Structure 1
Amino acid sequence: MYWGVDLGGTKIECAVLDEQHQVLARKRVPTEAAKGMQHIISQIGLAIDLCRTETGSSPKQLGIGTPGSVDPQTGLLKNSNTQAINNQPFYSELQKALSIPVKIANDANCFALAEAQMGAVKDQYPDASVVFGVIMGTGTGGGIVIDGKVLNGRHGIGGEWGHAHLDASGGKCYCGDTGCTERILAGPSLERFYEEQSGVKRSLKDIYAAYNAGTDEVANQTMERLIHFFGLGLSNIINVLDPDVIVLGGGVSNLDILYTLGVESVKKHVFNPSFHTPIIKPKLGDSAGVFGAALL
């Protein structure tokens, strides 16, 4: 069996898969991050216990996906939106508490792994060797899977597309840099741009509806900005990594124009006379994180 845990800011989910990747159990508990790292670890244990009861078995090893990553040099967790575990020996403490081997990866890596082995890539391009998974939602990130394995990188930041510099107009990012991809292509960043230009606060869903209706010039500007920088940002990935497939995830990935005008925008910047990289929609939705953790 494959056991995985998806650690989120508000919930912890545990899932158990069989060898055919069928779901045997799936349980959620609250994270309760304000109570600190040791409490989070105990909640992970609780989620595992609930799955243990349902399946009648215990994990021999565990995969866990989380925002952020473990620094290979220090062993400390970094860049997680669950602040209680940042700069803490979360990984080693979790292994100690569970007394089993644990493998941890960034949630975008888990998304890419799940879509590559169980989801849209497996269905449509089963022979793909290099897969780049994009998260465009509340934040922006990426994950790299090569021959079925996650590429974590020397610093544990492999695929961190969300904090590559894209354009200074994005402004200051929480990471300390300016103009990060996340500050331009994440859902809240698109909503912020619309509000700055129009003086009106609207959801991305409403902005997109107004764009499709052709009734709002600022909505047009917002979507044109998205398309331009989506093409520029993804072309940089293709020029460096040249993946076989790119799979999009997160709320922004539901916008159909990314697969039409967005693809045309990518073509303009790719360093090749022609463009053949499939850019596809995901299959697994919010299940990808916990499934990818199990597959680690």
Structure 2
Amino acid sequence: MRTSLKLGIDLGGTKTEIIALQDGQPVIRRRAQTPQGDYQKTVGLIASLVEDCERELGQQGSLGVGIPGTRSPDHGCIKNANSQCLIGQDLQADLEQRLQRPVRLANDADCFTLSEACDGAGAGAPSVFGVILGTGVGGGLVVRQQLLGGPNAITGEWGHNPLPWRRADDGPVRRCYCGQNDCIETFLSGPGWAARSELGLEASTIVPAAQSGNSTAQQALNRYCDQLARGLASVINLIDPHVIVLGGGMSNTAELYQQVVPLLPRYVFSDQVNTRLLPAKHGDSSGVRGAAWLWNDDLR
């Protein structure tokens, strides 16, 4: 589908957002409550958001949808979604039937990465690895403005590798919800870090405490930065991206960019680390923008 109007949907657990990009610039952006536990109403909401936008703009656009899960390459239905009503549903086919056009789906972390690679912090870079540091730890990989996907539809799931170069001061072994022990997500997600810090505080309050001089919180933040450096070093050693872009709630922590970059040479298999570590340009908008950029054939 060739059109200058690109529509993106970010399907979240509580909010569903739509954006309309005209020649790359936002012309409409709206949010609505996501129906809880009701798949058919969710499909209806997405369709109505699209139809309302197109009616207002007087033209039809391409449609990309970012989801909290992934579309299985084996059977086409949704898997690994924290919105349970999506699991086992053929969301792409149902939306295509309802809207009578092709629809592209991608994981929300992939959409984040694509947005930042197309016109965000990684614009112009040959390869961009996007990192989500939020309630979970996810990622995506874009090469020359195109998402890189594999046969299992799990490209970028670095959060479910074990933390490398494990040390005693990393704390006790913890089970990840995926069934494995000591996944990176159990260290670097906001809830995981808060639980391991043993301060009785949420991640959003540990950072200000550290910045205010609380020595225990400072130690926890320093440890987090070193763990992040180790996790990202394993990514760099494997795929050697030109840019790593951070998103999610933890990405707003200035210390990550100040402390992690000098730590990387300790762990990366190179005499110098040229990969750039950057905060997301579009912040919370990257997911929905990236969904629209799923139709980025004009950038090829």
TM-score (norm 1): 0.91
Q: Paired residue for 2:212?
A: 213
Q: For the residues of structure 2 that align with 1:211 and 1:165, how far apart are their CA atoms?
A: 26
Alignment pair present for 1:26 and 2:29: yes
Alignment pair present for 1:9 and 2:13: yes
Q: 2:221 aligns to what SS in structure 1?
A: helix
Alignment pair present for 1:149 and 2:151: no
Alignment pair present for 1:102 and 2:103: yes
Return the offset for 1:212: 2.4
Alignment pair present for 1:252 and 2:250: yes
Alignment pair present for 1:129 and 2:133: no
For residues 162-196 of structure 1, the C-alpha deviation after alignment (integer angstroms, 9 at most, x for no partner) is: 212226945111222221111110111111122x3
Alignment pair present for 1:158 and 2:155: yes
Percent identical residues:
40
Q: For the residues of structure 1 that align with 2:10 and 2:226, how far apart are their CA atoms?
A: 33
For residues 230-286 of structure 1, the C-alpha deviation after alignment (integer angstroms, 9 at most, x for no partner) is: 011000100010001111111101111111211122221101111111101111011
Structure 1 residue ranges without an equivalent (≥5): none
| Shift in alpha-carbon separation, 1:262–1:121, aligned structure 2, 3 A | same
Aligned residues: 284
Amino acid at match of 2:104: K
Q: For the residues of structure 2 that align with 1:284 and 1:121, how far apart are their CA atoms?
A: 11
Q: Paired residue for 1:202?
A: 201
Q: 2:229 aligns to what SS in structure 1?
A: helix
Return the offset for 1:42: 0.5
Q: 1:17 aligns to what SS in structure 2?
A: strand
**Pairwise CA RMSD of aligned residues?**
1.6
Q: 2:122 aligns to what SS in structure 1?
A: helix
Return the offset for 1:209: 2.2
Q: Paired residue for 1:228?
A: 226
Query: Retained in 2: the 8 A contact 1:170–1:183?
Result: no
Amino acid at match of 1:291: R
Return the offset for 1:205: 3.2
Return the offset for 1:210: 2.2
Q: 2:206 aligns to what SS in structure 1?
A: helix
Q: For the residues of structure 1 that align with 2:21 and 2:127, how far apart are their CA atoms?
A: 24
Amino acid at match of 1:142: G
Query: Retained in 1: the 8 A contact 2:112–2:286?
Result: yes
Q: 1:121 aligns to what SS in structure 2?
A: coil
Q: 1:171 aligns to what SS in structure 2?
A: coil
TM-score (norm 2): 0.90
Q: For the residues of structure 2 that align with 1:203 and 1:2, how far apart are their CA atoms?
A: 38
Q: Paired residue for 2:284?
A: 286
